[in-house]
Structure formats: C-alpha cells, structure tokens
Amino acid sequence: MTAAALSRVKKVPLETMLKNMERFDEEADGLYSKLNTMIENGKPSSKAPRKEHLEFFDKVMSLMGKMRECRLDAQRCATDAAPYMHQRLAAIQHTVTNDKIRAKPESDMSDEELADYYNKLRLRPTSVNPLVIENDTGEPVHEDEG
C-alpha cells in the first residue's frame, strides 16, 4: 500500500482487532447467560420422554460449542492485538555462580541473613544431583553418606 492509500484509511488495524475481540467476548457472554437460563428454566421434567432430554442436551451442547468458538475468536483477536498494546520483555542477564556458600545454621540466622542465604542458593546452577544442606551445620550432605 502506498503512503497516499494509507492516509485514506479511516481505521487503524488495531482498532478493528480490539473491536472484534470485544464483539466476540460479548457474544460469548450472551451465550453463557442464555445457556444458564436454559439450564435453570428449560430443562425437561424427569418424567418427560427420553427424546425431549436428548433434544435439550443437543441444544445445550450446541450453545456451548458456539460459546467456545466465540471465546477462541476473542482470544485470537487479543493475541493479534497484544504486540501493539504491550511491550515485550527485554532479555535480562542472569548470573549463575558456583561459589561455595558457607553459612551458619539457619536457626542462628537473622531474617536478612536468611534472605541473603536463599538468594545465593538460587544463583547456583541446577543439577541432576541437588544440593542438600544440613540445617544444623550448614554443610552439604552427600547421598552416599546417608
């Protein structure tokens, strides 16, 4: 599209996406209300013929299907509009350390020391063999030691 053609466009694509999202969402809400009303007031009596129960079930399932389609359409519109509405998170640097963590027993730590201790533990790389620390001594426990 040329710049001249773009200047004649009355609506921005984002407006259309948001309008469609709202319409589909409102339609789904309407179908949900209709479904609740139908279930509360329109279900056949227990003595009604089986055919009536099956027809009622078919109507309920049909409404649920339409409601699902509307919700999915609203979600698709929201997904399309999201990049124009919300910034993507920038990549952040994550530090991983293999430093040894020496600590006194957790029961002897202040709240600040505990927070610092756990933050240091979070920076350690993940491992197939998790680091297990003895609470009383603060020393690592190895599986083969029992």
Q: Where are the domains of the chain?
A: 12-85, 106-145
Distance CA 43, CA 24 (A): 27
Could you tell me the two tokens for 57? 């079930």
pLDDT score of 93 more than 80: no
Q: Is the pTM of this model over 0.95?
A: no
Residues 81-103 as b or e (16 or more Cβ within 10 Å = b): beeeeeeeeeeeeeeeeeeeeeb
**Cβ atoms within 10 Å, residue 21:** 19
* Per-residue model confidence as pLDDT tens digits over 131-144: 677 777 777 776 65
Confidence band (pLDDT; 50, 70, 90) for 146? Answer: very low
